[in-house]
Structure 1
């Protein structure tokens, strides 16, 4: 089992319908492929972690890279893991508009044991936080 973390930039500011379409497809595909993870958006930037079987993870990342709605994909890490950090989420999602993105991500990552993964998400949220 592996974990992959990447960041990307949307070509346009995503509206709620676009994000819902991304989430719907992600949740369907991830459930089918045994993947779990978390997607966080801040403006046009996306940070995502995916976890699961290596072959399915590679196929998902290939689909993501081919998606023309975004560019500048940067793989931040890819490594073997023993246990999932987001085992209960086919694709958790947060967009920090109701409160600050930083406070939402802090709550979402509270139980994440891996300090590096937690720091990646919290740093992203601090940089892209949008208070209400």
Structure 2
């Protein structure tokens, strides 16, 4: 079964925005826990990066599960100003560890990732290179936190 992926950036709602990105809020934890419960049943995995004001989410899974999970994202009141960066087919899962988890990132890291090349979800394998792809950067951010849910 082919795996598909979607990534987007969005602005956190006022109840979440402005909090310490390392601690998040109770609301953020509830939103992510709810997504993880849904995604587990839908076969979707992913990560939500949070810089205190903005989100960048990468999610992957079978087309049907991903479509429903993403429709939930679009309708969520926990964020707004959603901008889709890329969607398409991926050769393999890149974040199979969690149905959903949030990780704190610095604003400049989130900006660099959002502005990087997401085309085809390609990965070259060198996150430190000047021409690193978005997937190179994302995988380098996620790997130190990788654990099976």
TM-score between both structures, scaled by the size of structure 1 = 0.73
| Stretch of structure 1 that moved more, 39-48 or 87-96 | 87-96
User: As a proportion of its length, which structure holds more helix?
Assistant: 1
Gaps of 5+ in 2: 17-23, 110-121, 125-132, 140-149
The Cα shift of 1:69 comes to 2.5
Instruction: Name the Cα RMSD after superposition.
Output: 2.5
Q: Is the 8 A contact 2:15 2:27 kept in 1?
A: no
Query: Deviation string for 1:70-118 (max 9, x for gaps)?
Result: 111111000101200001221132124xxx575xxxxxxxxxx725333
Query: Deviation string for 1:38-94 (max 9, x for gaps)?
Result: 111012200000000111111111111111221111110001012000012211321
Gaps of 5+ in 1: 103-112, 123-132
Q: Which residue of 2 aligns with 1:114?
A: 123
Aligned to 2:40, the other structure's residue is in SS state: helix
How does 1:90-101 map onto structure 2 within 5 Å?
90-96=99-105
Q: Which residue of 2 aligns with 1:82?
A: 91
Q: Which runs of 4+ in 1 moved over 6 A?
A: none
Q: Which residue of 1 aligns with 2:48?
A: 39
